[in-house]
Structure 1
Amino acid sequence: MKKWKLRKLEWKTVDAASLDDRTLLLNLYLTQGLTFLLGAVITLFQRNPFWKQFPADSYSSVLLWGAGLAAAVLSVDLLISRWVPEEITDDGGINERLFGNRSLWHLVLICLIVALCEEILFRGAVQHALGAYWTSILFAAIHVRYLRHWLMTGMVFSISYGLGWIYIHTGSLLAPVAAHFLIDLVMGLIIRYRKKE
């Protein structure tokens, strides 16, 4: 068994382009696992556990809210990508690397994990304490790869605020999870199949 020596550990900035595919995926799954754990713990301390934030009384209308927000976001995003130069929407190639070569089932799995984990933390826990506005600022800030471009930062903030709004309106985490999943999935499919052409 290999021993870890804490004195030899180094902290350094890593360029995403220098990461291999396996390390990039491992980073994604680890950060999402930590996001889920943090959200779950916070909701427990708030006496509002995340599993109680998925009420079962009206799944169809809640899913419609999620699908409606996703359709609106995707429409605006496609319009922006049509008229805005590509360098303004550049994320450093991370999305291309995450979605470009994935099998369909893996792409769906990634989108589901990201949507569930991030919504439990941001809508289920943080928004409960800070409200939709400050949660959206925090949500935009953690999407570091977009902070270089004001348009993308504004889009992430707006999407987050929309997710917070439908959570408030429906009272269910299912609505923002569904919207987040559909937005990521459709954009991931566009990246994957556009690359093949």
Structure 2
Amino acid sequence: MRKQSDIIKQLSDHDLKVQLIISQLVLIFIGFFLSNFLFDSLAMWMDYLTFSIFDVLYYGVIPGILIVLFDLACMYTFPKKHYDDGGINERIFSNLSVGEIFFLTLLISIAEELLFRGVLQTSFGYSVASLLFALVHFRYLQKPVLLVSILFVSFYIGYIFVLTESLLVTIVAHFMVDFILGLVIRFQKRGAKYD
């Protein structure tokens, strides 16, 4: 069986982006499909789409920025080999426009939060959903620093959902992390080309 990194190398940047979009659409489909069986009513989705500007800022934006700062500190503390995901994130984000990064990270945040917090955490609990979220990012499993980082992020965002019971808040927190780190990757790569 070929390694994931070998398969990724054979894909063009466009194909890699398309595969990522398809995988996120599949997660959205799985989330809504499972909710048909696990929710008493599909109207339960509305219970988790509450909006509070305070919660969005205090539990969404600020924690998202704190997670990014933690991640950046780890990236600059540990040797690159401990934080390397096989170059996948770099391949995805380094050649995208800011608008494409915005769209892609918003899609990822919505898809993953709908499934992991909206369906799995509400049905099976905080720990199960947080562990499954980390396991879905299986390319991190062989990298201890990345694994600890994704576990921390997963449990932290899961805890935010426990506090707020709002998917909008966790989507914002998740989006902040992915969007800012996507921009960091893009502009680091661009800066390296001109050095």
2:40 is the counterpart of 1:47? yes
Q: In structure 1, how many angstroms separate the alpha carbons of the residues matched to 2:140 and 2:95?
A: 22
SS in 1 for 2:125: helix
2:178 is the counterpart of 1:189? no
Distance 1:183 1:43, change over 3 A: same
2:105 is the counterpart of 1:72? no
Distance 1:23 1:171, change over 3 A: same
Matched to 2:40, the amino acid is R
Q: Which residue of 2 aligns with 1:5?
A: none
2:80 is the counterpart of 1:86? yes
**Which residue of 85, 91, 107 corresponds with 1:113?**
107
**Which residue of 144, 161, 165 corresponds with 1:167?**
161
Deviation of 1:22 (Å): 2.2
Deviation of 1:61 (Å): 2.3
**Which residue of 28, 31, 36 corresponds with 1:36?**
28
Distance 1:144 1:176, change over 3 A: same
Larger Rg: 1
User: What is the TM-score when the length of structure 1 is the normalising length?
Assistant: 0.88
Matched to 1:132, the amino acid is Y
Distance 1:13 1:82, change over 3 A: closer
- Is residue 115–residue 180 contact of structure 1 (8 Å, CA) maintained in 2? yes
Greater share of residues in helix: 2
**Aligned-pair identity (%):** 31
Structure 2 unmatched runs, 5+: none
Matched to 1:187, the amino acid is L
Aligned length: 186
Deviations 1:97-136 (A, max 9, x none): 1100001111100000000000000000011122111211
